Amino acid sequence: MAGSRSWAEGVLQLLGRMNSFHTLQGSSKPVCKQFCVGGQAVGVVQPRMLPLLRGYPEVFQITNGHVELRDHLRTFQQRSTALEQVLRDWRERGLFNCLSKWRNEEYPVMSRFCDPPLMNIERAAVGLFGVRSYGVHLNGFVRHDDGRMSMWIGRRTIQKETYPGRLDNLVAGGIPASLGVMETLLKECQEEACIPDSIARNARPAGTISYTYEDDAGIFPECQFVYDLEVPVDFRPEVGDGEVLEFYLWSLEQVIELLPGSEFKPNCAMVVLDFAIRHGLLHADNERHYQQLVEGLHREL
Amino acid sequence: MAGSRSWAEGVLQLLGRMNSFHTLQGSSKPVCKQFCVGGQAVGVVQPRMLPLLRGYPEVFQITNGHVELRDHLRTFQQRSTALEQVLRDWRERGLFNCLSKWRNEEYPVMSRFCDPPLMNIERAAVGLFGVRSYGVHLNGFVRHDDGRMSMWIGRRTIQKETYPGRLDNLVAGGIPASLGVMETLLKECQEEACIPDSIARNARPAGTISYTYEDDAGIFPECQFVYDLEVPVDFRPEVGDGEVLEFYLWSLEQVIELLPGSEFKPNCAMVVLDFAIRHGLLHADNERHYQQLVEGLHREL
């Protein structure tokens, strides 16, 4: 039950895993090198990558503290092309499982979200260079007359490459190189849940969650822009592009119960936790780990 | 104007100052020692403190990485008394300006907010040992028929020891050793703004802000529990215990304009910024530094 010891421990474990790059004993954080492009730090590289990178001296310069894209790669296009060639080479050589899931989606590479992108990188490869990726997640909720809330939750199809069959927010998606945040949200609302712009435009920005996890596939600093959309009681999302198996409308208490454990895709559980905190369902007097829960949602790289 | 370059730069500067222990060149962070009580890290101690602490070998044990309260100080009371004696000694010797502002308010000392306190410390001295302090801040706001919001803002009296004459949230206060978070809020609502429990109880918990600044007086890790209270249009707070000079009801846009600069007590500006983010007045598409603004509100020690 929310507020119980085991609920809190389960959620803190989830936050720990999602921040494993910072918190886990044995994280490669202390031994990583910064990945720099055009003099700006845009990612982190694990030591296991260095022997491989040394095979491309025309692309990478490795110094004591840094891995840098060579200075002669000056333009956005030159950098993107050079890195893509390296990645395709690795893929052909059968290196890195993640590259077998090449998505043909370009993610922009920059030091901060507000900076002009320095280059693009194939989405499947961001973890190899610890490049931060950005997404948008939507809490779709219903407010009942008695003040209680229900939340729309999606279940991912079994065919999804990542987290098949897990629970998800009403709508979520990565922000590609070409789109703004609200643009991405409107597009995903349409594609994933058949929510027309007329409704989706009522989504209200409500902050971000930030975290960095490390696993066998690499280092993943991520920032998700969070939106809330209050929908009428009679609203029904519909399965769109086949990323979602079905949608459920559950009481918020019921959803919160499911946050620990493995029902949810982990970052979607974080988005619901953030919603529960912002809307006052958890607070310092009923959840003793409240402060850690809030802080676990907002860790800088 | 909010969203303009100069507004964002001003607010980022404020966040930088409030996180100076982490971000400022020349911060003592890399050379500080952890302050431990009963084997738990509860604070940080600057190198300048070490020669002084060595004068009390029966109270402090100084090792390579740590300053520890001696093991023979086993109980809550023994520890609190031993530290208080040291502090009173320093005060009599005229050391540390902060001690001349002795407040006779006990703050609890623990590793995390949820842990049982290991000892108490006089509020005026928390910065000397980098002990985290906790407070509660209330955003009092009015929602108009057209969806726009106004916010109640207090101005601190000229007599306040800290930040005299600056703007403040409707209600705010430190959480003393003896009270819960909501209890503190209800008490401060009554004392500072004559808000009866019947109204104050509608305050909704909405998260926390966390930051650590360092200045001449020491190191200040702080966590503020944030509440929102929607009040009727005809509600009027009244000056209570004389900590507030007067209250203003300003449009939220007007309040946001004032966040950079020195009108606001800095942590109160952060609480308003958090409100503006949670309620969607700022978002990733109208404020390019959005991600940094959110992250600057939530930094762990």
A239-264 pLDDT, tens digit each: 988 889 999 999 999 999 999 989 99
On whether any CB of chain A is under 8 Å from the CB of B290, the answer is yes
| Closest Cα in chain B, distance from residue A278 (Å) | 4
A205 neighbourhood in chain B, CB within 8 Å: 277, 280, 282-284
Cβ <8 Å between A288 and B113: yes
Name the B residues in 178-197 with CB < 8 Å from any A CB.
180-182
Cβ <8 Å between B206 and A280: yes
Domain extents in chain A: 5-23+133-296, 32-128
Q: Which of A79-88, B128-137, B176-185 has the lowest mean pLDDT?
A: B176-185
DSSP annotation string for B65-97: SEEEE-TT--SHHHHHHHHHHHHHHHHHTT--G
Q: List pLDDT tens digits, range A170-210.
A: 999 999 888 999 999 999 999 999 999 999 999 999 999 99
The predicted model gives B290-297 an average pLDDT of: 95
- CA dihedral defined by A107, A109, A115, A116, rounded to 10 degrees? -80
- pLDDT of residue B1 exceeding 80: no
Cβ <8 Å between A114 and B295: no
**Extended beta strands in A4-122, E state:** 33-37, 40-45, 60-62, 66-69, 106-109, 119-122
CB A32 within 8 A of CB A130: yes
Q: List pLDDT tens digits, range B247-287.
A: 999 999 999 999 998 999 999 999 999 999 999 999 999 89
Backbone phi and psi for residue B260, each to the nearest 5 degrees, phi listed first: -70, 170
What is the C-alpha separation between B153 and B138, in angstroms, rounded? 10
* Whole-prediction pTM: 0.94
Chain B, nearest residue to A288 by Cα: B114
Fold of B32-128: Transcription Regulator spoIIAA (3.30.750)
Backbone phi and psi for residue B263, each to the nearest 5 degrees, phi listed first: -70, -45
Residue B51, number of CB atoms within 10 A of its CB: 8
On whether any CB of chain A is under 8 Å from the CB of B225, the answer is yes
Q: List pLDDT tens digits, range A86-109.
A: 999 999 999 999 999 999 999 999
Q: Which of A3-7, A265-269, A293-297, B225-229 has the lowest mean pLDDT?
A: A3-7
Name the A residues in 151-180 with CB < 8 Å from any B CB.
180
Q: In whole numbers, what is the pLDDT of chain B averaged over residues?
A: 95
Residue partners of B244: CB distance under 8 A and separation at least 6: B154, B155, B156, B157, B168, B192, B193
Per DSSP, A242 falls in state S
Helix axes A266-278, A5-18, angle to 10 degrees: 120
Chain A, nearest residue to B183 by Cα: A285
B112 neighbourhood in chain A, CB within 8 Å: 289, 291-292
Per DSSP, B261 falls in state S
A277 neighbourhood in chain B, CB within 8 Å: 205-207
What six digits make up the tokens of A201? 């435009």
Position of tokens 């492009």?
Answer: A37
Position of tokens 């003793």?
Answer: A288
Residue partners of B162: CB distance under 8 A and separation at least 6: B265
Residue partners of B92: CB distance under 8 A and separation at least 6: none
Interface probe for A, chosen from B290, B292, B299 (most Cβ of A below 10 Å), is B290
Instruction: Report the DSSP pairing between strands B66-69 and B33-37.
Output: parallel
pLDDT at A165: 97
Chain A, nearest residue to B282 by Cα: A205
What is the C-alpha separation between A188 and A180, in angstroms, rounded? 12
Chain A, nearest residue to B114 by Cα: A288
The CATH superfamily label for domain B5-23+133-296 reads Nucleoside Triphosphate Pyrophosphohydrolase (3.90.79.10)
C-alpha torsion sign, points A192, A197, A198, A201: positive
